[in-house]
Amino acid sequence: MDNAMQDSAMLTPRAFGEALAHATFRQSAADFIVDESLIFTPDGSGEHVYLHVRKTNTNTQWLADELARYTKIKRRDISYAGLKDRHAVTSQWFSLLLHKDKEPDWNEFRLEGVEILEATRHRTKLRPGMAKRNHFVITLYHVQCSEQALQQRLEQVELLGVPNYYGEQRFGHDASNLEQAKLLFEGKINIKSRNKKGLYLSSARSYLFNKVLAERVRRGIWATPITGDCMMLDGTNSYFSIDDPDEEILSRVTEFDIHPSGPLWGKGELPAQHAARQLENEILQDEDVFKSGLCGVNMTMDRRSLRMKPRSLAYELLSPTTIRLSFDLTAGQYATTFLHELFILDAIDKPTAIVS
């Protein structure tokens, strides 16, 4: 791995200055709780069983394999809205294509670290993107930080949001996923596994996005639209381009109705115009391997919001050096990215999956 590339992948400058303090992160699974909400409510009928599951120290994909084994159906007939971190207590939904006469008694299902909260049915398969939000409850220890300083930082977050970086787990240990993407694009390796290939492609896209966002953070324009920006509607994948930002645009940004966006690279022209396009091209001018590689595998140019807004944000002091934070994030956003704006995280366990 090229050291400069690895450093760039991991470099996510903070928007509000230095971290408040170090914080011990993930002493146990119960210190990182995630509850997933879907964009709809299962209607109770249909050919797909919907399982609402609470799991502790359990990998999402591994659990899907175990559900396939228990129900004796094909693994491809089991799906979920997004991966959840292993080193945590998480609740999420799974869907299983399973005829009613073959559905087991879920009260008899036994698997260490897994509890079925609800079993219902729905007419369509659960797919990525069907999660609406995730609610987090996170406990941090050994925090040498005054409550006043914490309150001030959280007020800044409430006012502006935080940079919407992809978390470091996206890149793998020591940016190994990014290295595999580079080797793939250079024709030095062949990846047969669709899951692995998708992981490496996502890593490359995330790297380019983070690089653009990091530079806009350095320039102080990550939460402020510039001429030609693509503005993303909050909570959606829809965006539109602007000329010079007028009062209406600035007001909608302040209200978190829209956000400046950055590129998710692929084939096609950059939708950003004028100064925004020039800036994105300038930042990524030395990234031809990744840009051409993503175009070569028919990834389509898309956008991602440059900022995120933790909602229902609250904190509780459990002791002078122990803090419990609770907040909601839109699906696809990273809790660790938000925490990065507050603290330097000293993790007991490294995250192994995307929280989305």
| Residue 181 pLDDT exceeds 50 | yes
DSSP run (H or E) holding 219? helix 194-219
Q: What is the pLDDT of residues 188-213, one digit of tens each?
A: 999 988 889 999 999 999 999 999 99
- According to the model, what pLDDT value does residue 95 have? 97
- According to the model, what pLDDT value does residue 169 have? 83
Amino acid sitting at position 201: L
- According to the model, what pLDDT value does residue 154 have? 98
Q: How many CA atoms lie within 13 A of 210 on its CB side?
A: 25
| Rounded Cα gap, residues 226 and 223, in angstroms | 10
Q: What is the CATH number of domain 3-11+164-304?
A: 3.30.2340.10
Token digits for 153? 């930082």
- According to the model, what pLDDT value does residue 350 have? 47
Q: What is the pLDDT of residues 129-154, one digit of tens each?
A: 899 999 999 999 999 999 999 999 99
| Rounded Cα gap, residues 354 and 179, in angstroms | 18
- According to the model, what pLDDT value does residue 22 have? 97
Phi and psi, residue 56, nearest 5° = -125, 125
Q: What is the pLDDT of residues 227-264, one digit of tens each?
A: 999 999 999 999 999 999 999 999 999 999 999 999 99
pLDDT above 90 covers a percentage of the chain that reads 87
Q: Read off the pLDDT band of 7 (50, 70, 90).
A: low
- According to the model, what pLDDT value does residue 208 have? 97
Query: From 3.20.20.70, 2.40.30.10, 2.70.150.10, 3.30.2350.20, which CATH number describes the 40-128 domain?
Result: 3.30.2350.20
Average pLDDT value for residue range 57-72: 95
| Residue 353 pLDDT exceeds 70 | no
Q: Which of these ranges, 4-18, 24-38, 66-80, has the smallest mean pLDDT? A: 4-18
Q: Let me know the angle formed at the C-alpha of 13 by 234 and 147, rounded to the nearest 5 degrees.
A: 80
Nearest to 24 by CA among 161, 144, 119, 197: 144
Q: Which residues contact 134 (CB under 8 A, 6 or more apart)?
A: 34, 35, 36, 37, 328, 329, 331, 333, 335, 355, 356
Asked whether the beta carbons of 149 and 20 are under 8 A apart, the reply is yes
| Residue 182 pLDDT exceeds 50 | yes
Q: What is the pLDDT of residues 104-132, one digit of tens each?
A: 999 999 999 999 999 999 999 999 889 99
- According to the model, what pLDDT value does residue 3 have? 58
Nearest to 334 by CA among 208, 197, 168: 168
| Residue 6 pLDDT exceeds 70 | no
| Residue 348 pLDDT exceeds 80 | no
Q: Which residues contact 307 (CB under 8 A, 6 or more apart)?
A: 160, 161, 162, 163, 164, 222, 223, 259, 260
pTM to 2 decimals?
0.91
Q: Read off the pLDDT band of 347 (50, 70, 90).
A: confident
Average pLDDT value for residue range 305-311: 97
| Rounded Cα gap, residues 66 and 84, in angstroms | 16
- According to the model, what pLDDT value does residue 266 have? 97
- According to the model, what pLDDT value does residue 107 have? 93
| Residue 8 pLDDT exceeds 70 | no
| Residue 174 pLDDT exceeds 90 | no
Q: Are strands 114-122 and 21-25 parallel, antiparallel or unpaired?
A: unpaired
> Is 349 a residue of the active site?
no
| Rounded Cα gap, residues 169 and 175, in angstroms | 9
Which among 35, 43, 65, 85 is annotated as catalytic?
A: 85
Domain ranges of the chain: 3-11+164-304, 40-128
Average pLDDT value for the chain? 93
Token digits for 144? 């040498």
- Domain 3-11+164-304 identical in fold to domain 40-128: no
- According to the model, what pLDDT value does residue 11 have? 81
